Amino acid sequence: MIRTAYAVIHLKSIRHNVQQVRLAAPHSKIMAVIKANAYGHGLLRVAQALNDSVDGFAVARVQEGIRLRKAGFQHRIVVLEGFTKTEEVQNLLHYDLEASIHSPHQIEILRHQQEKKRLGIWIKLDTGMNRLGFKARDVRNVCEQLNTFSVVKKPFNFMTHFANADDKNDLKTSQQIELFNILTADFDGEKSMANSAGILAWKDSLTDWVRAGIMLYGISPFSDSTGKDLGLRPLMSLHSRLISVRDVAAGETVGYSGTWTSPVSTKLGVVAIGYGDGYPRYAESGTPVLVNGERVPLVGRVSMDMITVDLGINSNAKAGDGVILWGDNLPVEEIALCSNTIPYTLVCGITPRVEIVESKNIDPIF
Ligand SMILES: *Cc1c(COP(=O)(O)O)cnc(C)c1O
């Protein structure tokens, strides 16, 4: 079978990116955040590639943790959203997964556990995100209760999550760090604050564990830089090909609603990629696309299966030629900016129609 739309996962790059995390946080253990199918790159594939180079894994849901255990991974695995039901606690215990504890509802569930096994927990403190976690005034009370529960492994651990760490000038992050340090000072147990932005920009946030997500995939957590600028290597590239090349005259419109009008006569290329593959529907006219390695602009609306690009009147491109939507020489960060989104959503949003290929399985022509 010939591939149409496919994503190449350059697994070697992830080892390099882990090294960059180690350099930035030399005294911390690394929890690799591989939730949401490893940000679209494939849960087990990425876990395997990271196997002996990280200290633990973090996922969002219990089910994701179970998949890792069933595949044989023996690392510590933290479930960042914790649990909401007793059955989930039983699964966490059975599969030796650790849970974030962020709400009174969870404390009530733990209060009634009769299990002999011990659950590793991370108490989530809300230091300013206002999403999950306990407020400063509740910390002492929460810890006192959890201390009396035999199902809870002691000492328990603490974490918090930053709201604005991608803005290097926002003092909110310093305040979150300070509050977390004050609230946890009297407790043993491990502590964790930093996501990728924290690892790279907020050295005070580097504690026992860092939680590296987006930077492992070679993508910058900041809107003013690319992964490459930060010494990272992108893990994913997205590919397809031209399925048609045609002439249009000056003044003709292209695509649904005719949102783009050609100012001159030119050649248009039609690329087999669309929002049905996870290419962003809101990519604006002008978003760069690589056709045979040359940058050309997307023109008109993105449709489900296709986009159109302005190849220029002198182009020699023809149907069947290779196209890169993002990758080594076309940062996904740039495509995100052109689509009014963040690169996280683009890599997470690749749909099952897109074939995933590991780079060791393809010719090195990319
Ligand atoms: C997703 C997530 C991370 C990783 O964030 P990145 O910005 O991808 O590094 C860290 N901690 C928590 C709680 C998360 O939900």
Rounded to an integer, the average pLDDT of 208-220 is: 98
Per-residue model confidence as pLDDT tens digits over 10-45 = 999 999 999 999 999 999 999 999 999 999 999 999
The response to whether residue 212 sits with its C-beta less than 6 Å from ligand 1 reads yes
| Same domain (yes/no): 95, 43 | yes
Q: Who wins on pLDDT, 3 or 59?
A: 59
Per-residue model confidence as pLDDT tens digits over 103-130 = 999 999 999 998 899 999 999 999 999 9
CATH number, domain of 155, equals 3.20.20.10
pLDDT at residue number 115: 85
Q: Which long-range contacts (CB under 8 A, 24 or more apart) does 93-98 make?
A: 93/117, 93/118, 93/119, 93/151, 95/65, 95/66, 95/69, 96/69, 97/62, 97/65, 97/66, 97/69, 98/122, 98/157
Q: Is residue 366 one of the residues assigned to a domain?
A: no
Q: Is residue 228 one of the residues assigned to a domain?
A: no
CA separation for the pair 215, 17 (Å, rounded): 7
**What DSSP assignment string belongs to 74-107?**
-SEEEETT--SSHHHHHHHHHTT-EEEE-SHHHH
CA separation for the pair 113, 12 (Å, rounded): 44
CB 217 within 8 A of CB 39: yes
**256, 282, 318, 360: which is the annotated catalytic residue?**
256
CA distances from 185 to 125, 129, 205, 212 (A): 13, 20, 14, 23
Q: Which residues make beta-bridge pairs with 308? A: 270, 299
Q: At what angle do helices 11-24 and 43-50 cross, to 10 degrees?
A: 60
Sign of CA dihedral 98, 104, 106, 111: positive
Q: Can you tell me which atom of ligand 1 is nearest the CA of 215?
A: 9
Residue 210 Cα to ligand 1 midpoint, Å, equals 10
Domain boundaries, position 117: 12-218
Q: How many domains, in total, are found in the chain?
A: 2
Q: Which residues make beta-bridge pairs with 56? A: 31, 76
Sign of CA dihedral 90, 91, 95, 97: negative
| Same domain (yes/no): 263, 153 | no
CB 139 within 8 A of CB 146: no
Task: Say yes or no to pLDDT of 95 above 60.
Answer: yes
Task: Say yes or no to pLDDT of 366 above 60.
Answer: no
Residue closest by Cα to atom 15 of ligand 1 = 80
| Same domain (yes/no): 107, 164 | yes
Question: Could you tell me the pTM of the whole model?
Answer: 0.95
Confirm whether 203 is a catalytic residue: no
| Same domain (yes/no): 354, 299 | yes
Q: Can you tell me which atom of ligand 1 is nearest the CA of 195?
A: 9
Confirm whether 35 is a catalytic residue: yes
Percent of the chain with pLDDT over 90: 96
Per-residue model confidence as pLDDT tens digits over 226-268 = 999 999 999 999 999 999 999 999 999 999 999 999 999 999 9
The response to whether residue 262 sits with its C-beta less than 6 Å from ligand 1 reads no
Q: Is residue 5 one of the residues assigned to a domain?
A: no
Residue closest by Cα to atom 12 of ligand 1 = 161
Task: Say yes or no to pLDDT of 331 above 70.
Answer: yes
Per-residue model confidence as pLDDT tens digits over 294-313 = 999 999 999 999 999 999 99
- Best mutation site among 195, 219, 222 for ligand 1, i.e. most ligand atoms within 8 A of its Cβ? 195
Q: Is residue 226 one of the residues assigned to a domain?
A: no
Strands 76-79 vs 29-33: parallel, antiparallel or unpaired? unpaired
Per-residue model confidence as pLDDT tens digits over 246-256 = 999 999 999 99
Strands 253-254 vs 76-79: parallel, antiparallel or unpaired? unpaired
Which residues, including other chains, have CB under 8 Å from residue 314's CB and lie 6 or more apart? Answer: none
